[in-house]
Each structure stands twice: as structure tokens, then as C-alpha cells.
Amino acid sequence: MRVRMAPSPTGPLHIGTARTSLFNYLASRHAGGTYVLRIEDTDVARSTAEFEHDIIDNLHWLGITWDEGPQVAGGDEVGAFGPYRQQDRMERYAREADRLLASGSAYRCWCTPEELDAVRRHQEQAKEPPRYNRRCLNLSDAERAAFETANRPSVIRFRVEPETIRFDDLVRGEVEFDNSLLGDFVLVRNDGSPLYHFVVVVDDEAMEITHVIRGEDHLSNTPKHIALIRALGYREPRFGHIPLILNPDRSKMSKRKSQTSITAYREEGYLPEAFVNFLAFLGWSPGTEEEIFTLDELTERFDLAKVHKGGAIFDRDRLDHLNGVYIRALSDEQLALRLRPWVPDAIADDDLLLVVPLIKERLVKLGDVPDLIGFVWEPDDVVAAWYGPDLLHPKKGGPDEARAALERALVVLTELDDADFAADLLEQRCREAADDAGMKAGDFFSPIRVAVTGRTVSPPLFASLELLGRDRSMARVEAALRKLPVAAG
């Protein structure tokens, strides 16, 4: 088995391409085959080195490796079937285009955009399917010669035979298309640059690709490709079309309506292991209730026969669940290392390690850490600005109850010295203070939590106080008291 992934560097790596890359990787590794990365950069105007770097870097981040192709963006290529960038293969495309022209399977078309628009409008009015009317196929020799003498720009069109194309799809079973509906499509633009349908077929043959695994959106392209393959006398690879990725409302996932960039998910703090696990289940399942797999385990279990035909729903809640599972499977030391990019450099490694147990059970994404524990490193005045006086009010009470709780809490904090300032003792003393005030513990603790963390939901309150220390905790409680109105009388 030789499979390929052929991303176009005209945008960042998105979820659809990442999922297709993963399925190709898993299929080839499961079969002991070869995985090829080919850069389809014939769209010169939109292809950039920046996007190529984004694609390759994010594939590596996911743990997806390949046997042939560029290993790093802009770097040397590995493999015996290169070059693996289409811009470096133009001579081959030109030769194959000439071969199609010579055999009569392709022809030059001199129609102008205005002429083509006129044909399209006529077909629309006549309620005919839109396709090229073969005007230039039926030109006389004199008409062709006149266009050539005038140096009129021309494209190269493939002459589609009115035949039925059948193939056995690896996912969908037997598929049949009527190619008479296609129309003669363009292979080479009038500036000499080849188009996707042509180059992908030429490259797959040259690189001896045996299995083409791609998204369902390419299914309608396959009859064109098979017709080209046959006209060129190539060997036909096996085709497998995996289901589209859909939004929860079953609309097609697209960058205009959804977050599709892998980089964006990285920046939010999703773990690559969790993301790969999630991607694998977008259209595939092991046939059991299991849901947690390493990349190696996925490779061992993956089977194209178990890929679904129906659309795969992108469930963000499930991704969050998986990410949380993977986070909690890390040791505290491992998680601290993963959190480092989201924590200020001024926070020492030892202090970060102390924070991890407080947030590990609550953490959904690594990027959540500033919201969960940012109060530890933010200045006191910044934290005080996060909340208004109303947020200090306990669930059953108002400003008077908030002031009573904060004043009694301040007494507790003042009475303890630094050596005694520990979570267990703080909790004991605050519960006693709540009883003395005739308040429920939850109502007593609530204003303190807001005062020291700036949030109504936070890591364990007394561990947070211990982490902040006596002086900073007292300063924050005093700042909260200043926000409340002075008690009447």
C-alpha cells in the first residue's frame, strides 16, 4: 500500500485535512505500507511558505509522520519519487498534456471568458446542465490555424467520453457515474499552468500511489480522474471516500461558520493526544464501547471497512471531555510542563507545580489556566477590578452579610501567623467564624472567595488562600471591604 496526503498550502491546516491525513497515516501504518506527503502548490497566487510551515508543523504536532516528501517546511525531501512539490514537476505535466493532445484525448480551446459566459447563460435559460458545448473541438483546420497565427490564448480541455464510470469504493461500495453529464473540463490554463484534476492524476501515477483516501467532497471528482487515468494508460488506484465533517446542526463544517484551524485549537490548549483520538472517531469507530486510544493503538485497530458512510458530527463537548481525560491522566509534573506556555515566566517551576493539584480536576483545556488560577500571579488591584460589589453578596444575603463575613474572615487571617497559614487550619477557623456569625458555611465563604480570586468559581478556597499567603490574602479582603457600603448605624 502506498497512500498520499496532498495538502495545498493556500491556508492553514484545517480539521478536514488533518482528519484525512490521520486516516491515511493509520491505513498505511496498519498495512505496513508507505505514506507520502506531497505539496500541491500549483496555485501560485495563494500558496505560501507560511501555510506550508503551518501544515507540516501541525501534522508533526499531531504525531503524524510520513515516509516520503518534505520533512520540514522548505527543507530537503526524502524519497525516490520526488520532487514532492508540484511547482518542481512542471516538465512532467507538460509532457503528459502533449501526449493527450497527440492522442486526441485533449484539445485546445480558444473560447474567451465572454463567449463561455454567453454559453452558460443560454444553458441556464434552456434549463440545460452547465457544460462546455465543444465549440473548439469542432473547429475547422483553418479556424484553428487562424487562432494560432493570431496568438490567441488557449486552454487545454480533456475530451470526456460519454461513458458510465464504475468503481468499488473502499468505504461506500460500488459507485456509478454517467460521465456524459460532465462536459470537457480544463486541464491546463492559458498561461500554461496545470489544474488540480490533471496534476493529481499524473502525480499519483508517477509516485505509484495504490490507494487514494480522501474526503467525500472529492467523490464527484473521481469519475474525471478515472477517465483521465484511462486516457493516459495509467494503472487505477483504489479509491476510498471518507464522510464529511458536519456541524451539530448537520451543516457542512467550513471555516466561514466554524473554527477549523488546527493552530487555533492548539492555542486554546488542546492536547495532541486527545485531538488525534477525537479526529479518529470522526467517521470511524472500533466497533466497541472503547473511546481512549493512543496513536499506536489506533494504528493497530484501524480498518477502512469500519469507516462510516454518513457524515461525522463535530461534537465540541466530546472533544472537551476527551481533553479533560487526557489532562487528568498526566502526572502533576507532566501537566506543569504542558501548562508552562500559559503561565508567566515570573512564576517559578516549583510554584507552578504547587498550583497543578488545585486545578487539575477542573481543567478542560490548558488555555483555561489563566481564568482558573490567574489570580495567583495577577496584582491585587487587577484582581479587585474583576468584580463589582454585588458579586460579593452571598447567595442568601446582601452587602451587610458580605461585610460581616469579610470582617470576621479578616480577623481569622490576622490571628494566624505565617507558620500557621495552612489550608486545613484556615478552613477550621473560618467554619468556626461562620458558626459564630450564624451564617451557613457556603454564604460565609462566598464573599471571601470573590475577594481573593475575583471569581465566584475557583479552585479550593483555603488552598488558594494558602497559595496566596497571609499578606496578599489580607490585602484582598481589605480591598473587597472598601467596595462595600458602610454598614448603617
Amino acid (1-letter code) at residue 22:
L
Q: Is 255 a catalytic residue?
A: yes
Q: Please report, for residues 105, 301, 305, the alpha-carbon distance to residue 277 in angstroms, rounded to integers and kept in the order given.
A: 45, 12, 19
Distance CA 420, CA 427 (A): 12
Residue of 127, 224, 252, 255 marked catalytic: 255
Distance CA 100, CA 159 (A): 9
Beta bridge partners of 109: 155
The answer to whether 62 touches 262, Cβ cutoff 8 Å, is yes
Which stretches of 41-150 are assigned E, i.e. beta strand?
69-70, 77-78, 106-109
Distance CA 168, CA 461 (A): 62
Distance CA 287, CA 95 (A): 47
212: enclosing H helix or E strand: strand 211-215
Which stretches of 225-323 are assigned E, i.e. beta strand?
238-242, 245-246, 312-313
Whether the bond between 460 and the residue before it is cis, its omega within 30 degrees of 0, is no
Amino acid (1-letter code) at residue 429:
R
Of 434, 351, 26, give the one whose Cα is nearest residue 211.
Answer: 26
CA angle 329, 354, 360 (to 5 degrees): 30
The answer to whether 336 touches 354, Cβ cutoff 8 Å, is no
Name 298's Cβ contacts closer than 8 Å, sequence gap at least 6: 26, 276, 277, 280
Q: Enumerate the active-site residues.
A: 255
